[in-house]
Amino acid sequence: MWQIDMKVPQGYTITQATADHVPLLAAIEVAAAGIFPPGSIPEYIRSDSTPIEPLLEAVEDGLLWVALAGDGKPVGYALVQMVADAALLAQMDVHPDHMRKGIGSALVMQVVEHLRLLKKPELYLTTFVHVPWNAPLYAKLGFAAINSADTPSFLKDILEEERLCGLTDRIAMRLVV
C-alpha cells in the first residue's frame, strides 16, 4: 500500500490540465528526452512527443495533470490512460530546468490520490532500467518491477510495441494504491 507523504515543492502547484495547457506539453516532453545520454534512446524520441488528441481526451476524462511554476506555465505533466480497465501512467515528464525538486514525485502522488478516489487498486507503468532517474525513482515511490510471469497481457503488449519502436532496457512496474 502506497504510504509516502509527498508535498508539492514550494513555488509549484499540481492541478488537472486544461485544453489550454495541452499545446505547451510537447516542449516539456522533448526537453526531458534531451537529458538522455547519447545512444541510450532512439534518436527519434528526442524530437517526438505525445500527440495532442490523446492529451485532449485525457483532459476531458480528468486523467491529465500539470505541474505549474509560479508564473502559471506548465513545467511537467502526468498522463494516465485506462487500458484493459487498469490505470497506466502512460507519460510523465518534467522540464530539465525544474527537475530534481520533487515535481515528478508530486505528480505521481496526485495521480495516486485520484486513483484512490476512483477505487483503482493499482497503477502500472513501463520505464527504462538503464538510467537513474526512471526505474529507481519509481521504486523509491513504491513501484515494484513485475516479473514476466506476472505481467498482465496489456503490459506485455505495450513492452513489445516499445521494443519494436527501438525502446530497449524497459520493464513493467506496479504500485498498489
Q: How many CB atoms lie within 10 A of CB 10?
A: 8
State residue 6's pLDDT score: 60
Q: What's this model's pTM, rounded to 2 decimal places?
A: 0.92
Average pLDDT, the chain: 92
Q: Which residues contact 174 (CB under 8 A, 6 or more apart)?
A: 122, 123, 124, 143, 144, 146
Q: What percent of the chain has pLDDT over 70?
A: 97
Region 60-65: mean pLDDT is: 98
Q: Where are the domains of the chain?
A: 13-176
CATH of domain 13-176: 3.40.630.30
CA pair distance 157, 151, nearest whole angstrom: 10
What pLDDT digit, counting tens, does each position of 83-108 carry? 988 999 999 999 999 999 999 999 99
47, with CB counted inside 10 A (0-12, 13-18, 19+), is: exposed
Tell the residue number behind the cell numbers 521494443, with chain if given: 163
Q: Is 142 a residue whose pLDDT tops 80?
A: yes
CA pair distance 66, 151, nearest whole angstrom: 29
What pLDDT digit, counting tens, does each position of 5-45 carry? 468 889 999 999 999 999 999 999 999 999 988 888 888 88
Q: Is 4 a residue whose pLDDT tops 50?
A: no
How confident is residue 53, by pLDDT bands cut at 50, 70 and 90?
A: very high
Identify the three-state secondary structure at position 84: coil
State residue 2's pLDDT score: 39
Q: Per residue in 90-102, is it b (16+ CB within 10 Å) or e — as a string? A: bbbbbbeebbebb
